[in-house]
Amino acid sequence: MTTELTRLHAHHMAARLRAGELTSRELTEAHLDLAEAQDHGLHAWLTIDRDRALAEADAADVRLAAARGEGREALQALHPLLGIPVGLKDLVSVKGGQATAGSRILEGYLAPYDAHITERLRDVGAVILGKTNMDEFAMGSSTEHSAYGPTANPWGLDRVPGGSSGGSAAAVAAYHVPLSIGTDTGGSIRQPAALTGIVGLKPTYGRVSRYGIIAFASSLDQIGPFARDVRGAAALLHAVAGRDERDSTSSPEPVPDDLLTLAHSDDEAAGSLHGKRLGLPKEYFVAGMEPGVETRVREGVAALEAAGAIVEEVSLPHTEYGLATYYIVAPAEASANLARYDGIRYGPRLGEGADVLADYLTTRGQLFGPEVKRRIMLGTYALSAGYYDAYYLKAQKVRTLIKGDFDALWARGFDALVAPTSPTVAFRFGARLADPVSMYLSDACTLPVNMAGLPGISIPAGLSEGLPVGLQLIGAPWSELELFRLARGYEAITADADWRTLEPADLPALADPSTPTPAERMAAMSIVDR
């Protein structure tokens, strides 16, 4: 029963809940039991709150029973996330719960309030299972930079799940939870979605409030959904999106209710692709892209064309400057945002207590990880006197040019762009830790979207060497509904593909309590490499 329930897609769960064939408590217990039994070998979760989750499930069952008593209209008025388990990346504030952002400098901190998206999830009746692992302060592309140890990829336990939202992605891919929340600053939803074989959407900047989200780079961060299918991701976005007066960057742009009515029929979904005009940016087929990844992506493009989409090669000429621009802007904003962590207001404080400055330096020096320190130093340097104009100001000008490339394509009438999500499949633990630049290149296909504030979605596109490959769709501002329709169409035209029937290869090992933890596996691999 546990296996059966956890394999359902979120919309199937919702239908069974409304029909009274299933209770939210049964559904929640099945996911809790699986996550608690298997997380030893995966480490997708930093905390699982069974008591709170079961209380929320019981409350959802009360709402469901009341609606069934009132009749069909009352049931139809319920949000499809009512009673559905959700995981939150551990930088989302949940009142009374931890929010470490994957860092020791926030160890022991308990959030005094709910984030906006937490409030929205409570309003619709979703069940929050717990908090997922992540790269420290969302700085990384592998979840190896978590201060609490790495997360493994269920497709290969010796490989990374991507990052920084690797815990959220791995938890969905391993069936521990049907839906989860991540954040995307330079690709941190789409890249792990690609590497774990699930759906992940980065919304338009401002579509979802950042209130109550621990910040990395404020002009780039955006909250978004993970799911095992497109309809689940669309329902989760619908639940959390919308204007929030506490976040001046959140947009009043209406959230379309049609997010909840994507085509059920594969024939209808596939038919919506006919006549769509898609651009294929040549710059996204970057040097170093694995041949197997390029093959799967081009097969995906060919499938879209066969379904009636019109695909044209296009150019985004300033893409080559995206990586360098991002790694000036993002660290600069991080250096400002992370200045607040001083050992006085949040988390532990190290030192003797007699010298405030010495304690400040000791706390930050010992409790920030090496990647966070690296980016703080990069950002502080870029903002320092004499270098601001040469680096940060120039980067912002180039950012405008990157956005202009996209705007020119929307003006030409393209419905979306289609591209790779990641140039490689999931890499092995430790493979890129000694070379930060090679790690940064993991996001080469995703970060221009963040620089331009656009929405982008990664959807599964098959396997290369037995590991998932992601296909990325990029849209104009506020075009999430269009992206979901295109993604649902692609899902429909590949519904009979053999790879759609496959589960992550290393799931059986997660059921074995003798399976090493990701940290143990990573340490053993490091010894062998030396």
Active-site positions read 89, 164, 188
- Give the Cα-Cα-Cα angle 106, 164, 396 (nearest 5 degrees): 95
- 177 is written with which tokens? 């939870």
Separation between Cα atoms, residue 303 and residue 255, nearest integer Å: 30
- 446 is written with which tokens? 């995703």
- 366 is written with which tokens? 């010992």
**Would you give the distance in Å from CA 220 to the centre of its chain?**
14
Q: Which residues contact 192 (CB under 8 A, 6 or more apart)?
A: 143, 161, 162, 163, 164, 165, 166, 168, 169, 170, 182, 200, 226
Alpha-carbon dihedral 486, 487, 493, 499, rounded to 10 degrees: 160
Half-sphere exposure at residue 383, Cβ-oriented, CA atoms within 13 angstroms: 15
CB-CB contact of 452 with 201 (8 Å): no
Residue 370 exposed, middle or buried by CB count within 10 Å (0-12, 13-18, 19+): exposed
**What Cα–Cα distance (Å) separates residue 22 from each residue in 28, 37, 141, 216?**
11, 22, 38, 40
SS3 153: strand
Beta bridge partners of 280: 313
Q: Which of 34, 41, 124 is nearest to 77 (CA)?
A: 124
Alpha-carbon dihedral 30, 36, 40, 46, rounded to 10 degrees: 120
Q: Output the furthest CA–CA distance in the chain (Å, rounded).
A: 71
CB-CB contact of 285 with 319 (8 Å): no
CB-CB contact of 293 with 464 (8 Å): yes
Separation between Cα atoms, residue 454 and residue 441, nearest integer Å: 20
CB-CB contact of 103 with 147 (8 Å): yes
CB-CB contact of 505 with 466 (8 Å): yes
Q: Which of 137, 129, 220, 221 is nearest to 179 (CA)?
A: 129
Beta bridge partners of 314: 281
Separation between Cα atoms, residue 491 and residue 513, nearest integer Å: 35
Q: Which amino acid is residue 139, in one-letter code?
A: M
Separation between Cα atoms, residue 520 and residue 518, nearest integer Å: 5
CB-CB contact of 94 with 119 (8 Å): no
